[in-house]
A and B are shown apart, each in its own frame.
Chain A
């Protein structure tokens, strides 16, 4: 079974631009979560989606947003990029719903803001 797929793998943007990252979950998984990883802050939760609805949100500014489509694929968007947004963005999927299934992570999108 294919794992979580994130595209693109690497991205370079300049300050003030916006960016969209894509995530395809494992087949059959309906829950998708996003995390940001930086050397200073470590792994931090951004948000979680299940059946196209945001279930939980981390402590990030409104410039960070996401959505989930009916096929469970998800995108996250960062607007008005800042240098501090440079990070590895990780997507994770799980069965979701009334299950306690583990999260499985993709290998991330490395975003560099210059």
Chain B
């Protein structure tokens, strides 16, 4: 079973920030938070990941709470092309390398409205 909980759907107005929440209350110390999105008929696209610090890249920002039990993915200026299913995943990472057995939940369908 997925170790994350996400709302099934969200709406966002074009040009506004989209804030997608994720609950991972049972996360362990060696688990990273990863975000992917999937646009219809395409493979999941990697967005961002983090362990405990906030992260930002050209696509999005990831805010992880201090207790690491939840996180928020922020798309600063949503466009119609950001309409997709967004998956929040926890991934075990060790000195031997991270597992590639990702457990996907049902994700959040973000609909960006014009």
Contact = CB atoms under 8 A, between A and B. Distances in A.
Interface in A59-107: 90, 92, 94, 96-107
Given A98-B96, A102-B34, A56 B101 contact: yes
A36 to B, nearest CB: 11
Q: Which of B32, B45, B98, B103 has the most CB of A within 10 A?
A: B98
Contact of B97 (A42, A43, A100): A100
Interface residues of A, number: 28
Interface of B: 32, 34, 36, 41-46, 49, 87, 91, 93, 95-106
B106 to A, nearest CB: 6
A21 B74 CA distance: 36
Contact of B102 (A97, A103, A104, A108): A103
Given A98-B95, A98-B96, A104 B101 contact: no
A96 B96 CA distance: 10
A103 B103 CA distance: 13
22 contacts: A4-B43, A42-B105, A43-B102, A43-B104, A44-B104, A45-B101, A48-B100, A48-B101, A55-B100, A56-B100, A92-B44, A97-B97, A98-B95, A98-B97, A100-B32, A100-B93, A103-B100, A104-B46, A107-B41, A107-B42, A107-B43, A108-B42
